[in-house]
Structure 1
Amino acid sequence: MTAPESPLYYDPYDFDIDTDPYPIWKRMRDEAPLYYNEEHDFYALSRYEDVTACLKDFDTYSSARGTIMELIKGEFEPPPGMFIFEDPPMHDIHRDLLRKLFTPRAIAAVEPKVREFTTQVLDPLVGKGGFDFITDLGQEMPMRTIGMLLGIPEADQTKIRDFSLEGLDLDEKGAPSDNFKFRFSGEDGEPIEVNDLFGTYLDWREQNPSDDLMTQLLTTEFVDDTGEKRCLSRDEILGYVRLLAGAGNETTTRLIGWTGKTLAEHPDQLAELVADPSLVNSTIDEVLRYEPPSPVQARYVTKDVEHHGQIVPKGSVMLLLNASANRDERKFKDADTFNIRRKADQMLTFGHGIHFCMGSHLAKLEGRVALQEVIKRFPRWKVDMEKAKQSRTSTVRGWDSLPVITY
């Protein structure tokens, strides 16, 4: 006799659920495609069709109050220039400026440096019997890459890796903070306001222009929403830099970690990849579908809407579970099966619509190069789960440490 299932409950702050949320998300797709959590007062959509439609409808599902539930509920005021926290028209203006600087061609040109950063990390680890996908690789190569693009001196690049929106890490009980500040942790552990640190680099670049993104942001002219032709304000540039520093490190680090863990769990497919390295692009795409580093997107609901026969009132927080959508059997065949030969070109890992992640090309490039260089040196590995540590936030999902034994 099969025991009855427990009542359906989803909580993004619950560590046990976050360890493996996919069974809960599958039940939500089947039993409660519109889910409501009374304790934290949010709604959630989990099916591919629903999530896709809402990501496109920026008028109803607004990003202007943040894209993280804690930010929306904390009445966070996004700084100018962080266009992921904007709606049109300023979103389109700010995004278009970066798009012109952050082209696929420009990103492709950095591949030799990305490979150099990766080999510098991995070569000393050969013959050591193992390494950590996060602390040895995931926290190093993305940091060097985004630091180079921004023009941050190499000696200071560890500082941008430690940049965070203070208050988004969950405490040991899974509780979120209601105090959000953009800060770094200083060498002595004391917080440093982000404008103080990035502002120093910005001042330097004003007097010493180069060919990096920070210099281009300082000199680019555009027409704003009032029709005025101008350069970016200092606050707008700092918003861009904060966005690039955070996004350029955090999610790529998680991608590299999930690549190591997922392939270790599928050794036959790892062996297939080692035998045929041309599968590296489809492997990275499948890792991104199967384990998205950013699995949940929050939106502020601007008007009453109906989903699955229920009304979601204006002012609600809606969680769009893009990681659940990536495993929706209604969209993907054998969705819970990891398959490096899959063509996962309609996944929602990088979003959909006007907020589609502009850094997707860079993230894929870094993930591909990291994997290519790893399998050249380490064709087999297994995760030392006793020493691995999963990160605990409600925004990204991945590992703080992922040591592996190579053999």
Structure 2
Amino acid sequence: MPHAAATPRSHPEVEYDPLDPVLDEAPYEVWRAMRDRQPVYLDQRRGFWALSRYEDVAAALKDTTRFSSAHGNVLELMSPEPVDSGMMILNDPPGHTRLRQLVSRAFTLRRTAALEEDVRVVCRELLDAIDASSEVDLMQEYAAQIPSRVISRLLGVPGEDRERIRLLIDECFHLDEEHGFVNDVALTAMGELGGYLDRRLRHLAEEPGDDLLSALTQTGLTRRETVDFAMLLVMAGTETVGRLLGWAALLLDEHPDQRADLVADPSLIPRAVEEVLRFEGPSPVQARFTTEDVTLHGVTIPARSVVLLLTSSAGRDERQYGPDAGVFDLHREPRHHVSFGYGVHFCLGASLARLESRVALEELLARFPTWSVDRDGSVRAHTSTVRGWSRLLVRLDTPTPS
């Protein structure tokens, strides 16, 4: 297997391991070293290559011919042969094109926009239930709750089933110290959730309602493809939006002047969401599989190699965002980021994630304009593909009546 170009002797060797929870806490300098000195990185121990610069990551995300998604998109689950899946995210064109066209008929911007009032109601209900007189776990009591409840409504889950489905969704993300997220608890929950969705689809095919699952039954997708899309929406939408909101709460506490700007002018909140996505993308790594030799920066990545696309490293690339790329600044001139992917695999749920995040921050800031995070007491969530917090302990400051 060809090796990456030798690292200059004046620099220590760069070492990047996406499975290392210690590195995961602050990978920024390692990412910078990779961008500057080893933009085509090879890890022989775990058997992957990695691209870290914005230009290279963006180009690879768009290049479905040479960088395939059909072998998996998570390092631990990559397969030497294409996987048999109805999920769009694990298909390349033309199969991906067919699935996306069919799903897009039901998952429309209009349907997403119509959810805004539902999202706002969910946020207000959750905030009403918070006891601000003591320390609050903002992740478990607010941020992580919002997307699972919204997705249940979007999918048309009956009211009496929503709490059960929310708990199943939580169990789908159960982490095991030995096996990561591929464990009996998570796999059992995924099986139960898939079975529930399949039964709902059988019912809705006969008695459709005004919800996404009902609309999907009319698109021409097979039942399996519909269940796979619903599972993708649940898995991707729940985990990433919750982590995004956790990062937003932490970053705004670390930058109280910018938080005050949002309180004074809520119209800035969409820009804040984009800056959080750029600066601390909740899904920092996407895996691909090369279908042929690919040469970048004088280094050849062989065909049939696993390549990690470091989207969060790309979000801090000075070549794209300037010398202050490592600074959180919601007032910076917006520039394209790849935290929702790029090209044909651009996240279909991006508009929903943006809507949920905007409304969640609007409601939080309106109710509690300031807060303080207990970073030492908070707990991180770590997998090879997700960065964020499973518990975020905060003190919410109740506004003094004027």
Q: Note whether the superposition's TM-score is higher than 0.5.
A: yes
Does the 8 Å contact 1:13/1:176 carry over to 2? no
Q: Residues 162 and 36 of structure 1: is their aligned pair in 2 closer, same or farther, counting only changes over 3 Å?
A: farther
Q: How many Å apart are 1:309 and its aligned residue?
A: 1.1
Q: Residues 163 and 307 of structure 1: is their aligned pair in 2 closer, same or farther, counting only changes over 3 Å?
A: farther
Larger mean CA deviation between 371-380 and 386-395 belongs to 386-395
Does the 8 Å contact 1:66/1:298 carry over to 2? yes
Give a deviation string over 1:248-294, Cα, whole Å, max 9, x none: 21111111111111111111211222122221111111111111011
Measure the CA separation in 1 of the matches of 2:181 and 2:278: 29
Does the 8 Å contact 2:99/2:221 carry over to 1? no
AA aligned to 2:211 is: D
Measure the CA separation in 2 of the matches of 1:108 and 1:178: 34
2:201 is aligned to 202
Q: Residues 16 and 251 of structure 1: is their aligned pair in 2 closer, same or farther, counting only changes over 3 Å?
A: same
2:50 is aligned to 44
Measure the CA separation in 2 of the matches of 1:267 and 1:85: 41
**Unmatched 5+ residue regions in structure 1?**
186-190, 221-230
Q: How does 1:379-398 map to 2 (within 5 A)?
A: 379-398=369-388
Residue 367 in structure 1 maps to residue 357 in structure 2:
yes
Give a deviation string over 1:347-384, Cα, whole Å, max 9, x none: 11111111011111110110000001011111111111
Q: How does 1:3-402 map to 2 (within 5 A)?
A: 6-73=12-79, 77-80=83-86, 82-125=87-130, 127-162=132-167, 171-172=176-177, 183-185=187-189, 192-220=191-219, 231-333=220-322, 334-402=324-392
Q: TM-score of the superposition, structure 2-length normalised?
A: 0.90
Report % sequence identity: 43
AA aligned to 1:203 is: R
Q: How many Å apart are 1:342 and its aligned residue?
A: 1.9
AA aligned to 2:274 is: D
Larger mean CA deviation between 358-367 and 62-71 belongs to 62-71
Aligned Cα root-mean-square deviation (Å): 2.4
Measure the CA separation in 1 of the matches of 2:311 and 2:173: 19
Measure the CA separation in 2 of the matches of 1:102 and 1:368: 19
Does the 8 Å contact 2:144/2:243 carry over to 1? no
Q: Residues 182 and 400 of structure 1: is their aligned pair in 2 closer, same or farther, counting only changes over 3 Å?
A: closer
AA aligned to 1:90 is: G
The count of residues paired between Structure 1 and Structure 2 equals 387
Does the 8 Å contact 1:130/1:403 carry over to 2? yes
Does the 8 Å contact 2:67/2:290 carry over to 1? yes
**Unmatched 5+ residue regions in structure 2?**
1-9, 398-402
Does the 8 Å contact 2:181/2:383 carry over to 1? no
Q: Residues 313 and 5 of structure 1: is their aligned pair in 2 closer, same or farther, counting only changes over 3 Å?
A: closer
Does the 8 Å contact 2:69/2:91 carry over to 1? yes
Measure the CA separation in 2 of the matches of 1:315 and 1:49: 22
Measure the CA separation in 2 of the matches of 1:167 and 1:241: 14
Q: How many Å apart are 1:217 and its aligned residue?
A: 1.2
Does the 8 Å contact 1:72/1:317 carry over to 2? yes
